[in-house]
Amino acid sequence: MRLGVLDVGSNTVHLLVMDAHPGARPLPAHSHKAELRLAQLLDGHGAIGPEGVDRLIAVVMEALEAAEDKGVEDVLPFATSAVREASNADEVLTRVAEETGVRLQVLSGADEARLTFLAARRWFGWSAGKLLVLDIGGGSLEIAYGMDEEPDAAVSLPLGAGRLTAAWLPGDPPDPADVRALRRHVRAEIARSVGDFSRHGAPDHVVATSKTFKQLARITGAARSAEGLYVERRLTRRALEEWVPKLAAMTTQERAELPGVSEGRAGQLTAGALVAEAALDLFDVEQLEICPWALREGVILRRLDHLPT
């Protein structure tokens, strides 16, 4: 069957169309993406304003048209931190449902971490042993750890690259004092959760998902996306530590000219790199592997698990 996952995230609204059935690997068939940056459309009261809701509705309608064009049988719609934390979330969800027919399921941060962990587990398999999975989104950082398909520990922290850039790094390039302040903030936030994971023992394999980690791996020497999903891509702590001060000293335009860095994400890359560096340092990770699957694939896999055989 052909399924579509409609992901309303902090940075983008992304429709991923996949051919899937129980017991088989889901195969990507089409991707439709629009940058919306909901996290940056919040007003002083934490609400998504009328203009932002109008833009969201328009983008959702475009995604539905794309899904219909591609023969999607069922669309699985969900929203993450930007909608979850909006002070008028109920109003936004009601308007989207009334005007598009789409009832967005708002995932909790823990749900995001668990579904991303499921995707990583299915990708790497049981032979990977105990997994530690890291995911940096636009609004939050998810961390999950475990031996099975359900993690033993999972947490979502308000350390998304878009959120932190808007709140802490207004300059272009950012002021070094702002970078140092953000570095302290990020490390303090992550350090509060390290104990919840370390009591389970050291992981056998550390993996990361998300655009931020993929871009950081690329600029430190990993293979291009054009070389395919099955090429191993790694990010080392040493390489990341060398690149963080370079990224912080660059303008957004200069970052956008780096290999693998998109213009739309270049402005957030310094904040994302600070989060990645802190996570690897505080969890004592020397290197990690990039996982091609993440939250959207986890949503598909969970749906397939509940289909009758």
Preceding amide of 173 cis, omega within 30? yes
Determine the pLDDT at residue 22. 86
Q: What is the mean pLDDT of residues 4-17?
A: 94
Determine the pLDDT at residue 307. 77
Q: Residue 7: helix, strand or coil by DSSP?
A: strand
- Helix (H) / strand (E) containing 74: strand 74-79
Band of pLDDT at residue 149, cut at 50, 70 and 90: very high
Are the CB atoms for 165 and 270 separated by under 8 Å? yes
What percent of the chain stands above pLDDT 90? 86
Q: Residue 78: helix, strand or coil by DSSP?
A: strand
256: Cβ contacts below 8 Å, ≥ 6 apart:
262, 263, 266
Measured CA to CA, the distance from residue 208 to residue 203 in angstroms comes to 13
Measured CA to CA, the distance from residue 46 to residue 259 in angstroms comes to 35
- Read off the pLDDT of residues 21-57 as tens digits, 9 standing for 90 and up: 888 889 999 999 998 888 777 788 889 989 899 999 9
Determine the pLDDT at residue 24. 85
Residue 185, pLDDT above cutoff 80: yes
Q: Which domains can be identified in the chain, with CATH numbers?
A: 2-106 (3.30.420.40), 109-295 (3.30.420.150)
- Read off the pLDDT of residues 57-85 as tens digits, 9 standing for 90 and up: 999 999 999 999 999 999 999 999 889 99
Q: What is the mean pLDDT of residues 228-254?
A: 97
Q: Which residue did the predictor score with more confidence, 40 or 183? A: 183
- Starting at the edge strand found earlier in the chain, the sheet holding 2-8 runs 27-35, 12-19, 2-8, 74-79, 105-106
Are the CB atoms for 39 and 82 separated by under 8 Å? yes
Are the CB atoms for 116 and 298 separated by under 8 Å? yes
Q: What is the mean pLDDT of residues 258-281?
A: 96
Query: How high does pLDDT run on average in the chain?
Result: 95
Are the CB atoms for 33 and 14 separated by under 8 Å? yes
Determine the pLDDT at residue 10. 86
Residue 284, pLDDT above cutoff 70: yes
What percent of the chain stands above pLDDT 70? 99
Distance of CA 215 to the CA centre of its chain: 12
Residue 111, pLDDT above cutoff 90: yes
- Read off the pLDDT of residues 134-143 as tens digits, 9 standing for 90 and up: 999 999 999 9
127: Cβ contacts below 8 Å, ≥ 6 apart:
none
186: Cβ contacts below 8 Å, ≥ 6 apart:
159, 164, 274, 275, 278
Measured CA to CA, the distance from residue 284 to residue 198 in angstroms comes to 10
Phi and psi dihedrals of 18, rounded to 5? -135, 145
Measured CA to CA, the distance from residue 81 to residue 98 in angstroms comes to 21
What is the radius of gyration, based on Cα positions, of the chain? 19
pTM, two decimals, is 0.94
Band of pLDDT at residue 309, cut at 50, 70 and 90: low
**Which range is least confidently modeled, 22-31, 53-62, 211-220, 249-258?**
22-31
Give the DSSP letter of residue 220: T
Determine the pLDDT at residue 297. 95
Give the DSSP letter of residue 112: H
Q: What is the mean pLDDT of residues 177-192?
A: 98
Determine the pLDDT at residue 21. 87
